[in-house]
Structure 1
Amino acid sequence: MHHTLAPITAPIPVRASSTDDPVELLRFAIDAHGLGAAALATLVDIRGGAARALGAHMAVAADGRFCGYVSGGCVEAAVASEALLAMAQGRDRTVKFGDGSPFFDIVLPCGGGISVAIHVLKDVGALRHVLDCLERRQAAGLAYLPGQQALEPVDPLPRAQWLGQDFVTVYRPRTRVVLSGQTIEAQAVARLAEASGYDVIAVAPGGVRPVADIIDPFTAVVLLHHELDAEAAILEIALASPGFYIGALGSTRTHRRRVERLRAMAFRRDDIARIKAPIGMFGPTRDATSLALSVLADVAAARLVAYA
């Protein structure tokens, strides 16, 4: 591909925020388009190692502001510059960085190479569709059609990938954590989960009935009770739900008692096996903060496995 130098008057790329939340990136792109012009850059090819997954985005405004990441931070300013050129020319472009790239001065620390497709937004209807789906906690797909230089909504695929001549990006709702337990451990998990950008819903004692309505496939159920009786009602609802993670506090001995109770209630072995107990990725822990880190690491790992 032929690359031209930006004119002296071109805006200087400036990072507007450090977010990599797709919802915030798409909102930024929609707002920037409303103010004049915007481009959406998408990671569409990885050669060797890479810091981001296929489908990672950057959004770039006509004034040079940008957000998002397509690497570990080493090429983003260059991508923004290419996006500004694309906007000035009114044409999409695909640019290679690292291995196989014409930019010899840009070397990716991972030693690999990436290709980034830069689309100059003509309208934002497809982006609004994605945001609407995520607002309803539904997965969404967005196809980039290089031949038509267009975006269009599509059914979500299992992962971001090329589908023929088009590249499909997949978006899923943010992780929801349904948290049950009036314990110091529950308070620590709630604090860290909120800081991690999760949608945290604390369930009060007796507030069982509405819980079934809020546990969707992108929900982790975290039970932090010191008595099996206290968790019983919500655990039954969680086992009947599509939640991707169910974890419960307690020792190995406590979990054996939990399993016996569930078997006596005619729960299937496969359902019972969904429960992660003792809860957490590492343990046993002896303080609330360590437990919270262990639980949320486990939730994050389970989400990656469920939606790789």
Structure 2
Amino acid sequence: MKTDLLTILLDLKARRIPAALVTDMADGTQGLVTTDGCQGDLALTAEETAAVLHRLDQDDSGPLPEEPGTEPGPEPRIRPLFVDTHAPPLRLAVVGAVHVAQHLVPMAAAAGFDLLVIDPRGSFASEDRFPGVRLSQDWPDEALTGWGVDRRTAVVTLTHDPKFDDPALTVALRSDAFYIGALGSRRTHASRCERLTEAGFTAADLARIHAPIGLPIGAKSPMEIALSILSQIVAVRRKAPAATGATR
């Protein structure tokens, strides 16, 4: 990699901007691809760029096409390229340091998420309950704004209390968070949507909230609910069919 591309890549990493280093395996020409375009000596077609961005979105390094020579037509539409993705860790903000959170947080950590647990109630957001996890006792909207919510961030609210959940959801809905979920019954969510509508959010905005939260696995215990939540986050992230399934 040339020094100028390395400098750009390091700057992108510092700003949590995903990028893919793309190498033409025929001549070694390289380019650095983000959603804003390609920098470097490598010129990509629109189809190649779309294929690279798909790989980048899925954190999936490897050759393009996956099986060279199998593209339809007399010639492959995508020349042999190698895509090396560089993306910051996925992040999960958990609002409400409750029993479900105590199961969800270690599961998410094992899955590679960077974590932030937010709860202004100091007796909940404690090192004893969440050892080794970044904790915030700030108000949820302040904590999320300070942390920064981007397109590689998931936000989950678990408190059942509007004074905590609604400020967090307000920040999440105004961000590019790839997943927003809220614990509570359908009746609770209907009331939540009424309040958020009064705050100026549209039906399309509210449709981003997964509520009641989690995949429909018949979860009952806090551990099972945590499992259903993390499963839904992964399904949404991977654009799996399960992501559109009805919740509990």
* Band the TM-score falls in, shorter-chain normalisation: 0.5 to 0.7
Considering fraction of residues, name the structure with more helix: 2
User: Which of 17, 23, 42 is residue 144 of structure 1 equivalent to?
Assistant: 23
For 1:207 and 1:299, locate their aligned partners in 2 and report how far apart those are by CA, in whole Å. 20
Which residue of structure 2 aligns with residue 158 of structure 1?
A: 53
Deviations 1:121-175, CA, capped at 9 Å, x for gaps: x879867865653343111011112222354433354223455453444443321
Structure 1 position 267 matched with structure 2 position 201:
yes
For 2:107 and 2:191, locate their aligned partners in 1 and report how far apart those are by CA, in whole Å. 30
Which residue of structure 1 aligns with residue 91 of structure 2?
A: 176
Normalising to structure 1: TM-score of the pair? 0.54
For the Cα contact (< 8 Å) 2:97–2:117, is it kept in 1?
Answer: no
Q: CA deviation at 1:212?
A: 2.5
Runs of 4+ in 1 over 6 A off after TM superposition: 122-125
For 1:168 and 1:149, locate their aligned partners in 2 and report how far apart those are by CA, in whole Å. 12
- Decide which moves more: 193-202 or 168-177: 168-177
Deviations 1:66-104, CA, capped at 9 Å, x for gaps: xxxxxxxxxxxxxxxxxxxxxxxxxxxxxxxxxxxxxxx
For 2:239 and 2:219, locate their aligned partners in 1 and report how far apart those are by CA, in whole Å. 24
Q: 1:132 to 1:288 in 2, by over 3 A?
A: farther
Which fold has the larger relative contact order, with Cα–Cα distance below 8 Å and residues 6 or more apart in sequence?
A: 2
For 2:202 and 2:94, locate their aligned partners in 1 and report how far apart those are by CA, in whole Å. 24
Which residue of structure 2 aligns with residue 211 of structure 1?
A: 144
Number of matched pairs: 185
Residue segments in structure 1 that go unaligned for 5+ positions in a row: 1-121
For 1:289 and 1:125, locate their aligned partners in 2 and report how far apart those are by CA, in whole Å. 48
Considering fraction of residues, name the structure with more strand: 1
Q: CA deviation at 1:277?
A: 0.4
Which residue of structure 1 aligns with residue 102 of structure 2?
A: 187
Which residue of structure 2 aligns with residue 302 of structure 1?
A: 236
Counterpart of 2:105, as a letter, is A
Q: 1:151 to 1:196 in 2, by over 3 A?
A: same
Normalising to structure 2: TM-score of the pair? 0.65
For the Cα contact (< 8 Å) 1:212–1:238, is it kept in 2?
Answer: no
Q: 1:254 to 1:283 in 2, by over 3 A?
A: farther
For the Cα contact (< 8 Å) 2:214–2:230, is it kept in 1?
Answer: yes
SS in 1 for 2:54: coil
For the Cα contact (< 8 Å) 1:177–1:221, is it kept in 2?
Answer: yes
For 1:182 and 1:166, locate their aligned partners in 2 and report how far apart those are by CA, in whole Å. 45
For the Cα contact (< 8 Å) 1:223–1:231, is it kept in 2?
Answer: yes
- Decide which moves more: 261-270 or 156-165: 156-165
Structure 1 position 281 matched with structure 2 position 215:
yes
Counterpart of 1:255, as a letter, is H
For 1:175 and 1:126, locate their aligned partners in 2 and report how far apart those are by CA, in whole Å. 24
RMSD between aligned alpha carbons? Answer: 2.6
Which residue of structure 2 aligns with residue 229 of structure 1?
A: 163
SS in 1 for 2:112: coil
Counterpart of 1:209, as a letter, is E
Counterpart of 2:34, as a letter, is D
SS in 2 for 1:305: coil
Structure whose alpha-carbon radius of gyration is higher: 1
Which residue of structure 2 aligns with residue 77 of structure 1?
A: none
Counterpart of 1:208, as a letter, is D
SS in 1 for 2:220: coil
For 1:200 and 1:124, locate their aligned partners in 2 and report how far apart those are by CA, in whole Å. 33
